[in-house]
A and B are shown apart, each in its own frame.
Chain A
Amino acid sequence: MGVSVYRLPWSAQLWWAVVFSLALAPFVYIVYGVLGNALGPDPAEALMHQTGEWAIRLLVLVLAARPLAQRGWPALFRYRRMLGLFMFFYTTLHLLVFAQVYVGWNVSILLEELLERPYVMVGFAGWVLLTPLALTSTNGMRRRLRQRWRQLHQLVYAVAVLGVLHVLWLSRSDIGDAVLYGVLLGALLCWRIWQAWRRRFARAR
């Protein structure tokens, strides 16, 4: 994503830097918290929460980019790839924290968590599906994969479903977060399906 920046006019470069900094800010805040020992008595829980929340927030932004662009607000769409990669970054951090503090890098504990706890399985599956999307996010890969690239990257909607399921399964007594992200991502998914139908209908005519 950095390669083409220098060809852009300075105002676009500035915007790129602003969006990049905003997306990076939660990470800086987290690192600050870790180094300053300011995450409270249970840093494991705090870190899991923060990395997970930022991942799903970025997912909402990424999926909202196209409908917003079609309604005359293309700003987000321009940075969709960057935001998608940040989303993968926070999801990966989330997984690394889980491996460090909950699993202790122990394969048998990991397997047990995956098999016995559905929300862990669902979250892990989401990360697995995201990985090829991150790896094929370059312009070169996009050219090489052509039509397949589009199909592959539609996996992001499956990731959204898994993400909401993950949050819902984790809710204990207050389903506020699950409802919030469920409604947002559900609406974006519905919009996408509606778009696809409309296109097919238009072509058929």
Chain B
Amino acid sequence: MTRKILDVPQIASSEITPEAVWLNRRNLIKAAAAGTLATTLPSSGFAVESPLRPLAYNQGECDACAADEALTPEEDATSYNNFYEFGTDKSDPAEHAHTMSIDPWSVQVTGLVNKPGKLNLEDLLGGFDLEERIYRFRCVEAWSMVVPWIGFPLADLLRRFEPTTDARYVAFKTLYRPAEMRGTRSFTSVIDWPYKEGLRLDEAMHPLTLMTVGLYGKTLPNQSGAPLRLIVPWKYGFKSIKSIVSIELTDKQPQTSWQQLAAQEYGFYSNVNPEVDHPRWSQRYERRLPSSLFKPNRVPTQLFNGYAEQVAGLYENMDLKKYY
């Protein structure tokens, strides 16, 4: 008897509610009171994303940076995502990407560089001058958003590793950690993980090409490709590879995941081009999100997603129908 009374039950540390959950619970109660529970509660229940850190940054100075269109609400940009490592539904990444651990994180920079090496999370967030750039983001599925990204030119990163004169292309890889990425465990998925993307070196060095570490003033949420992703605003969204762990400079055009899967549908360049149709979607128009059913927000798609003035020079004398 007495032993039982004295035997104070130990609370396993796993049972202690993390502060973030506890704080979040209050928000949930508030949300419920306001009658918005259904829309704010992720369907996975009480999963809590890693807290996002506010970032210090400058406004981007390039002409093209501030698209003068209305921003897509943050909630939409971070709840409607393609990140197939976490499932193929648009809501899957926001629901399941919290399982990915992003700290510690490092990016290997290898291949045709004089100083191969790696960058850690702290180097990425603290070692570059961050700026905000508002870009149009156009998905190959014919929807688009306008997002305030925070990052630094990829060129700044590449220069630190000194690409050799032989380097012609840059190959990127996403993290591949099946235990933390439920989509990669799907038996019926036909992607050869890890996800791979690539750019020509001059595209990678272009001032609009952004190594992105944040959006809407804060670090990237996992579903948006934390802690480090690429943003190439004149190309379809799938080129803007997420959660990068490897950057390799090569002299040969690297194979990309979508090319490998369906080369007749996805080319290496994948520049936004209303004149070159994708076999599944017309590319002449896009649904600017958020869209509504009765007044679909349909806007005409622009060549190079509206950045032709800045980037058309990269493709002079190239047949864009052939090199799609």
Residues of A within 8 A of B (CB): 34, 37-45, 47, 97, 100-101, 104, 109, 112-113, 116-117, 119, 170, 172-176, 179
The answer to whether A109 and B90 touch across the interface, beta carbons within 8 angstroms, is: no
In the bound complex, CA of A117 to CA of B277 (Å) = 10
Q: Does B173 contact A (CB under 8 A)?
A: no
Query: B290 contacts which chain A residues (CB < 8 A)?
Result: 41-42
Q: Which of B280, B291, B293 is in CB contact (< 8 Å) with A117?
A: B280
The answer to whether A113 and B189 touch across the interface, beta carbons within 8 angstroms, is: no
Query: B183 contacts which chain A residues (CB < 8 A)?
Result: 174
Q: A109-B282, A174-B188, A174-B189 are in contact. Are A34 and B293 (CB under 8 A)?
A: yes
Residues of B within 8 A of A (CB): 38-39, 72-73, 76, 79-80, 84, 88, 90-91, 141, 143, 183, 186-191, 261, 277, 279-282, 287, 289-294, 296, 298
The answer to whether A42 and B291 touch across the interface, beta carbons within 8 angstroms, is: yes
In the bound complex, CA of A175 to CA of B186 (Å) = 10
Q: Which of B90, B277, B287, B298 is in CB contact (< 8 Å) with A116?
A: B277
Query: A113 contacts which chain B residues (CB < 8 A)?
Result: 282
In the bound complex, CA of A112 to CA of B278 (Å) = 13
Query: A112 contacts which chain B residues (CB < 8 A)?
Result: 282
Q: Which of B38, B279, B291 is in CB contact (< 8 Å) with A41?
A: B291
CB proximity of A115 to chain B, nearest CB, Å: 11
**Sample of 11 more A-B contacts, CB < 8 Å, known A44-B293, A97-B293, A175-B190:** A40-B76, A41-B72, A42-B287, A44-B291, A100-B294, A101-B287, A117-B281, A119-B280, A176-B188, A176-B189, A179-B188
Query: A100 contacts which chain B residues (CB < 8 A)?
Result: 293-294, 296
The answer to whether B287 and A44 touch across the interface, beta carbons within 8 angstroms, is: yes
Chain B, residue nearest A101 (CB) = B296
Query: A34 contacts which chain B residues (CB < 8 A)?
Result: 293
The 9 closest A-B pairs by CB, nearest first: A41-B76, A176-B188, A41-B290, A41-B289, A174-B189, A173-B191, A41-B80, A174-B88, A101-B296
In the bound complex, CA of A147 to CA of B187 (Å) = 45
The answer to whether B293 and A47 touch across the interface, beta carbons within 8 angstroms, is: yes
Chain A, residue nearest B195 (CB) = A173
Q: A170-B280, A173-B190 are in contact. Are A38 and B76 (CB under 8 A)?
A: no
Listed A/B pairs (29) with beta-carbon separation below 8 Å: A34-B293, A38-B39, A39-B293, A40-B79, A41-B72, A41-B76, A41-B290, A41-B291, A42-B287, A42-B289, A42-B291, A43-B291, A44-B291, A45-B90, A97-B293, A100-B296, A101-B296, A104-B298, A113-B282, A117-B279, A117-B280, A172-B261, A172-B280, A173-B191, A174-B84, A174-B186, A174-B189, A175-B190, A176-B189
In the bound complex, CA of A34 to CA of B298 (Å) = 18
Chain A, residue nearest B140 (CB) = A172
